[in-house]
Amino acid sequence: MTLDQRIRTAAFAFLEQQTALHGEVLPFEVLRDGFTFDGTRVPLLGPQGIFKPKVLPDMPLSITTAPPKRGRPPPYDDGLRPDGLLSYRYRGTDPNHPDNVGLRRAMQRRAPLVYLFGIVPGRYLPIWPVYVVGDDPRSLAFAVAIDDRRFAAAELSDAAEEIQRAYVTRVVVQRLHQRSFRDRVLTAYREQCAMCRLRHAELLEAAHIIPDSEEGKAIVSNGLALCKLHHAAFDRHILGVRPDLVVEVRRDILEEVDGPMLRYGLQQMHGSRIIVPRSTELRPRPEFLEERYERFRKAG
């Protein structure tokens, strides 16, 4: 096994260990500090998106999509291509920039890399192994495929491997964006349910006001941080939120007689006002609430 292969294997083992410890999203500090290999510290990311630690000879170890910053457009328009692969932007506009050359070399040698997807500032979801499988200097972007570690050892034809990676890449990128939406919404709502103020993050979810199945935008102003109970009730029109941010519970639910969960969990929400983010730009858009409230009224 070459030095390059040994370091990549150690990096993957480190990520397995850290995600088992911290969960699937890792703090920036964990990735910045990295791991120790033969007495040398090996960070997993740096100030630039394409990162090669000094210990590696000539190929990057990771690529990073920066987390969105409020009020600023993302620095790179990385995203899913029509063919199911991830489009990853060059460093700058020079195809021969050393970082781009290094990533092209990783493509030619089929070297596995780590993809670090910025969820919110300071938190990244690592995906590995990923492979650079295409290079398009005209669009200043590489094509990246995400592999499924469960099938990495399987013997597949080139065509079957290409289909598998495109499918896995599409599924994983969609999951990344869903997770990013959740964490951005929960951060905006200070990690509490907008209705009942429950603060246990493991019981909170990001609800779309206009559903994503109807092309509702994955932006914070189209989201509400809700506990699992109130998310389910919101999705099924058991309760709704008026454009003036007041909660209404469906009439038949208000008239129903049952145990304390119904009374305290749902009925007492009627007439209360939801909490909203401190930032005006992150608060629910009135037009989204109006459209969703009309659906609630018709369902009742």
Convert the pLDDT of each residue in 39-55 to its tens digit: 999 999 999 899 999 99
Which is nearest to 294 in space by CA: 246, 237, 253, 251? Answer: 237
CATH number of 3-186: 2.30.280
Is pLDDT of 71 > 70? no
Question: What is the rounded radius of gyration, in angstroms, for the C-alpha atoms of the chain?
Answer: 23
**Rounded percentage of the chain residues whose pLDDT exceeds 70:** 90
With 90 as the cut, is the pLDDT of residue 86 above it? no
pLDDT at 152: 45
Q: What is the mean pLDDT of residues 138-160?
A: 68
Higher pLDDT, 223 or 258: 223
Asked if residue 287 has pLDDT above 70, the reply is yes
pLDDT confidence band for 103 (50 / 70 / 90): very high
Give the per-residue pLDDT at 82.
76
Please report the pLDDT score of residue 156 as a whole number.
Answer: 45
pTM of the predicted model over 0.75: no
> Per-domain residue ranges for the chain?
3-186, 191-299
pLDDT of residue 1: 87
Average pLDDT for the chain: 89
Is residue 150's pLDDT more than 50? no
Whether pLDDT at 149 is above 60: no
> What band does 85 get if pLDDT is binned at 50, 70 and 90?
confident
